[in-house]
Amino acid sequence: MIDRTDETPEAWADRRLRGDGAAAHGTSGAVSGTSGAPAGASSVRLTFGALALAAMLMALAGFVNVMTTLDDAHRRGVRMPLILPVTLEGTSAVATLASLMIVVIAMRLAPPDRGPIWRTVAVHVGGTLVFSAAHVALMTLLRTVLFALAGHRYEFSLSEAPYEYRKDLLTYLLIGAVFWLMTRQGSTPSPSSERPASAAPATFDIRDGASILRVGVAEIVAATAAGNYVEFALEDGRRPLMRAPLSQVETALAPHGFVRTHRSWLVNANRVRALAPAGSGDFRIELGCGLTAPLSRRYPDALARLRGDGSPSQSSA
């Protein structure tokens, strides 16, 4: 804004023009962080989008300020050339836009919702001082050059610094707030991004000495203890061996739907085709591929799980 409470347009138009800051409007880019915050190309797009929004808002604010100043001068009976408020508002707006990256950097270093409060306060107090100093310095330089080209003199007094800092502080806070809100919105995953990507089929390594046979977990029909080895029954008929206790294999395959049905048997629950009583509370499990596995009464949890998995022969049990 270019008018002040302690002066009139007459005095303002005749005196040596001094500095005035831009209206505190605008936005800036966003941080992200782990911050959860967007990285790479998304972060760059967010930052430039915020800067573009800041430019539009500041242009609008500058236009309102210019028209307000001209109207105020007209009401007071002072003839004011349009170029004067346009120059003052334009140089302040350009200087503010050129200094916005200071806010961006400060917000990236200390997002309000992350890190200790003392660090956040320290970073942003320093950020406001650097932002105001950069804005005033660039604004003064631009006005000095433009006024000199027009044959006039422009001065900025250090006594104006507190006044400029108060306005720049408000600008910094507004820019930082909008910047932070845009960051949070930009980092919120869309419903489509929340859907897990199709997971690659799980695999299991059957190690036999120095040899490794990598098979899909879904291809394993069952595993049985064979002395110090575990024999795997694969859907293609192969029967590879691995030197390991069955309990170790059970630990690895249990998350993939394998169930311990006997002290010597581990079956793929997804492969169960039928359950049939075998007497004395035991059952016989039909797994397809010509393979039948025992289900001991000592494993009631396995029986309950297999009965409840929707097996087509459930009723036969």
Extract the runs of DSSP E, i.e. beta strands, from the chain. Answer: 203-208, 211-216, 220-226, 229-234, 241-243, 258-262, 265-268, 274-279, 282-288, 291-295
- Nearest by Cα to 265 from 282, 279, 276, 280: 282
How many other CB atoms are found less than 10 A from the CB of residue 189?
A: 9
- Nearest by Cα to 107 from 22, 172, 24, 167: 172
3-state secondary structure of 197: coil
Least confident of 105-119, 205-219, 251-265, 287-301: 105-119
User: How far from each other are the two terminal CA atoms of the chain, in whole angstroms?
Assistant: 86
pLDDT of residue 186: 55
| Residue range 135-159, pLDDT digits in tens | 888 988 998 999 889 888 888 878 7
Q: From CA 238, how far away is CA 213, in angstroms rounded?
A: 11
pLDDT at 50 over 50: yes
Higher pLDDT, 164 or 20: 164
Per-residue confidence band for 184, with pLDDT thresholds at 50, 70 and 90: low
pLDDT of residue 245: 93
Q: From CA 215, how far away is CA 229, in angstroms rounded?
A: 18
Residues near 84 by Cβ (< 8 Å), separated by ≥ 6? 13, 17
| Residue range 199-234, pLDDT digits in tens | 567 899 998 778 889 999 999 999 999 989 999 999
User: What share of the chain has pLDDT > 90, as a percent?
Assistant: 22
What is the rounded average pLDDT of the residues 297-312? 76
Q: From CA 27, how far away is CA 187, in angstroms rounded?
A: 17
pLDDT of residue 44: 63
Cα torsion 22, 26, 32, 33: sign = positive
User: What share of the chain has pLDDT > 70, as a percent?
Assistant: 73
Q: What is the mean pLDDT of the chain?
A: 76
Higher pLDDT, 19 or 185: 185
| Single-letter code of the amino acid located at 293 | A
Q: From CA 51, how far away is CA 56, in angstroms rounded?
A: 9
Higher pLDDT, 295 or 110: 295
Residues near 90 by Cβ (< 8 Å), separated by ≥ 6? 62
Residue with tokens 């795997």: 232
| Residue range 81-125, pLDDT digits in tens | 888 888 887 888 888 888 888 888 888 888 877 778 888 888 888
pLDDT of residue 199: 57
Q: How far is the CA of 276 from the CAs of 19, 272, 284, 291, in angstroms?
A: 93, 11, 5, 14
| Residue range 9-42, pLDDT digits in tens | 444 444 334 444 433 343 333 333 334 444 455 5
DSSP secondary structure, 228-245, as one string: TEEEEEETTS---EEES-
* Residue 54 CB burial class (10 angstroms; 0-12, 13-18, ≥19): buried
Q: What share of the chain is helix, strand, coil (3-state, %, to 5)?
A: 50, 20, 30
Higher pLDDT, 157 or 243: 243
